[in-house]
Amino acid sequence: MINNALNNKSLLVYGKGIYVRDWLHVKDHCKTILKVLLEGSIGEIYNIGGDSEIANIELVEKLLKILDKPQSLITFVKDRPGHDLRYAMNHDKITKELHWKPEVDFEKGIKITVEWYIFNRIWLENVITKEYLKFHEKQYKNR
């Protein structure tokens, strides 16, 4: 969505965009995986939730506002059959056992994420065009 918005491409939203997801910033996710590896009990399962449930359309609208892009980029498309209305994560166990909670709130996290995409557009373009594969293939062949 961020890349498409940066390039003034359509932002495809299923149905009316009412589907809710729980968002977690990548830094929280990575730090928490490390915490589980270092402090978690072997064989246990720990759910990681962001306490940031938001409907898809709200997320898209926030992205457009941050990027100062028009709402007209939003294109509603036919919904997928069986589309789950909500994905939520109960992270009571990891909170109680490992004294964990998300550190980056949604509003700050989405702004940081958008900034990352803006400052790393060359990297992103290389991923989109698959140019990065040529570099890795060359490195692999030179082993």
| Tens of pLDDT, residues 7-22 | 999 999 999 999 999 9
Q: Say yes or no to pLDDT of 133 above 70.
A: yes
* pLDDT score recorded for residue 40: 97
Burial of 29-46, coded b for 16+ CB within 10 Å and e otherwise, reads eebbeebbeeebeeeeeb
What value does the mean pLDDT take over residues 70-79? 96
Q: Output the average pLDDT for the chain.
A: 92
CB proximity list for 18: less than 8 A, separation 6 or greater: 55, 56, 57, 85
At 135, is the pLDDT very low, low, confident or very high (cuts 50, 70, 90)? low
Least confident of 52-56, 94-98, 114-118, 133-137: 133-137
Q: What is the CATH number of domain 2-118?
A: 3.90.25.10
* Separation CA 85–CA 82 (nearest Å): 9
The per-residue pLDDT for range 88-110, each reduced to its tens digit, is 889 999 999 999 999 999 999 99
Q: Which long-range contacts (CB under 8 A, 24 or more apart) does 29-37 make?
A: 31/103, 32/94, 32/100, 35/98, 35/100, 36/94, 36/98
At 141, is the pLDDT very low, low, confident or very high (cuts 50, 70, 90)? confident
pTM of the predicted protein model: 0.84
* Separation CA 13–CA 22 (nearest Å): 17
* Separation CA 68–CA 46 (nearest Å): 38
* Separation CA 48–CA 96 (nearest Å): 12
